[in-house]
């Protein structure tokens, strides 16, 4: 049985690619590694990648010299979570509020972790989670 | 500026939770950490978590003793990628074919990485990617 190492790429499908890149760069602090008209790829840390696709722009697949990328597309408001350090939860809360982001909810988990939920510009439910949410984090 | 450590959770929204769990356990080799009627959480390796939500079951949010989880939902056929080791790509290909999975495409990237694409039972575009796809992997 071969092995999956980890989740590498998580994709969001956005209405306005500039707006989404601005949010994930300036509010969330991620760095863009690659940027085209239909896709931005951001370094999300520890070998994970956040892909921002222009919604509806990838429904036909894409050919390039390296091969063919099959079609895909998605609609929200889906959920994903980003890991943060426990001692940065308060800093994140202040930072998001200063950026004009509404904190939609905060949750305490049995294992001691905490989560903070808010929306990105496309309505995705973004969670920031501290260690103690899952057996593996 | 506070720091994002990595992507922690990636969510898929599925028509049949049993079918999806079976696929990600028996074909992809992931272990289920937690299972309810609307959600299964699978260990996807290296501190990442694959969440399988029953589509349409999380549109009203969820309250529990620890707080309130805001509503979310999603529709595909979205894309996500799993990291694998380079020397396991051939083993993965044989394994998927033996499981009756059609390989939809294979791609070679400029940095030397390779990707293999196929569909999960809900039509999500799953990619297995070897190192050399991104500057960070």
Task: State the CATH number of the domain containing residue B115.
Answer: 3.10.180.10
Domain that holds residue A83: 75-137
Minimal Cβ distance to A105: which of B30, B68, B104:
B68
DSSP annotation of B102 reads P
Query: Are both B1 and B52 inside the same structural domain?
Result: yes
Q: Is A26 near chain B, with CB under 8 Å?
A: no
In a domain, A126, yes or no: yes
Nearest residue, CB atoms, B72 vs list A71, A77, A129: A77
Do residue B86 and residue B32 come from a single domain?
no
My answer on whether B54 and B80 are in the same domain is no
Query: In this structure, are B49 and B97 located in the same domain?
Result: no
User: Is residue A76 pLDDT above 90, yes or no?
Assistant: no
- Taking an 8 Å cut-off on Cβ atoms, the answer to whether B81 and A7 are in contact is yes
**Is the entire prediction scored with pTM above 0.90?**
yes
Complex ipTM, two decimals?
A: 0.97
A129 in any annotated domain: yes
Does residue A116 sit within a domain?
A: yes
Q: What is the mean pLDDT of residues B109-120?
A: 98
pLDDT at B76: 82
Per-residue three-class SS string for chain A: CCCCCEEEEEEEEECCHHHHHHHHHHHCCCEEEEECCCEEEEEEECCEEEEEEECCCCCCCEEECCEEECCCCCECCCEEEEECCHHHHHHHHHHHHHCCCCCCEEEECCCCCEEEEEECCCCCEEEEECCCCCCCC
Average pLDDT over residues A21-28: 98
Q: Please, are residues B69 and B113 in contact by the beta-carbon 8 Å criterion?
A: no
- Shared-domain flag, residues A46 and A5: yes
Does residue A12 lie within any of the structural domains?
Answer: yes
B85 and B47 share a domain?
no
Q: How many domains does chain B have?
A: 2
């Amino acid at each position: 049985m071969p092995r999956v190492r980890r989740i590498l790429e998580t994709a969001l499908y956005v209405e306005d690619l500039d707006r989404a890149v601005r949010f994930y760069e300036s509010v969330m602090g991620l760095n863009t590694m690659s940027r085209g008209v239909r896709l931005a790829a951001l370094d999300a840390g520890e070998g994970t990648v956040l892909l921002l696709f222009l919604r509806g722009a990838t429904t036909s697949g894409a050919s390039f010299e390296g091969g063919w990328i099959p079609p895909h597309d998605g609609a929200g408001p889906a959920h994903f979570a980003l890991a943060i350090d426990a001692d940065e939860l308060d800093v994140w809360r202040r930072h998001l509020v200063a950026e004009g982001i509404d904190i939609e909810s905060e949750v305490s988990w049995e294992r001691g972790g905490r989560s903070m939920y808010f929306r990105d510009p496309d309505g995705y439910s973004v969670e920031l989670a501290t260690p103690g949410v899952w057996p593996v984090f």
